[in-house]
Amino acid sequence: MEWPRTVDDAVATQERLRTQVITTSAPDLRIDTVAGLDVGYRSDDEVVGVCVVFDAKTLAVLDEAVVEDKTDFPYIAGLFAFREMPVLLRTLDQVTVTPDLLVADGQGLAHPRRFGLACHLGVHTGIPSIGVAKNAMGRFEQPGHSRGSASDLVMDGDHGDEVVGRALRTQDGVKPVFVSVGHKIDLDRACAEVLRLAPRYRLPETTRRADTLTRRVASSG
């Protein structure tokens, strides 16, 4: 497909596609396989995309793909998807197990135009998706100390504060991660899936494995 070449075109694409985001879960949504997606950089224009597919119950790795590519879209806050989407879609094409859920290392609705990378991936593929970020995009109060505690992540909206995600404590006493809906899943279910994917560490296994793989491949060049 043709990707936007200019900032104005990219913003217009986000504004157009954001209306297609679905923020509810299908009543029969079943998640047996889940993919972690991440992008690493060798240089400003050399990217490494990774997709790792897990069994959602056992967290065993079922398949993984690594794709190296180049990008010529500029590095601009709020438009990272246009640098990272093309290589991530190629990794999804290469895995032999179709995931029931995509977990992006980034934002979903927690985005200035409510259309972060997780939303873009979900709308483009039709697969339910969530964003799990290490840093907050928005304001929040610290959740409680214990695993599973959460607090609203808010950003300014047209009618005041708008809830765009949650700060979620995945382990007792560790820093929270920031979960936002991407597509075809509700926030409660998204947080439940992140907790299921993070039985031992702060970051879900989807993010940990994909991040480790991108760093290894990117540094080997």
Q: What is the pLDDT of residues 102-128, one digit of tens each?
A: 999 999 999 988 999 999 999 999 999
Where residue 216 falls among pLDDT bands split at 50, 70, 90?
confident
Round the average pLDDT of the chain to a whole number and report it: 91
**Predicted pLDDT of residue 212:** 84
**Predicted pLDDT of residue 1:** 59
Helix, strand, or coil here: 50? Answer: strand
pTM, whole model, 2 decimals?
0.92
169-205 pLDDT, tens per residue?
Answer: 999 999 999 999 999 999 999 999 999 999 999 999 9
Q: Which residues pair with 118 in a beta bridge?
A: none
From residue 174, alpha-carbon distances to 17, 134, 204 in Å are 35, 12, 13
Burial of 190 (0-12, 13-18, 19+ CB in 10 A): buried
Give 167's contacts (C-beta < 8 A, 6+ positions apart).
136, 140, 141, 142, 143, 150, 151, 152, 153, 176, 177, 178
Q: Interior CA angle at 127 toward 124 and 128, to 5°?
A: 115
22-70 pLDDT, tens per residue?
Answer: 999 999 999 999 999 999 887 778 888 999 999 999 999 999 999 988 8
From residue 193, alpha-carbon distances to 33, 39, 59, 219 in Å are 11, 22, 12, 31
Cα–Cα dist 56/168, whole Å: 19
Nearest C-alpha neighbor of 62 from the set 50, 52, 77, 48 = 52
Q: Which residue has the tokens 């997606």?
A: 37
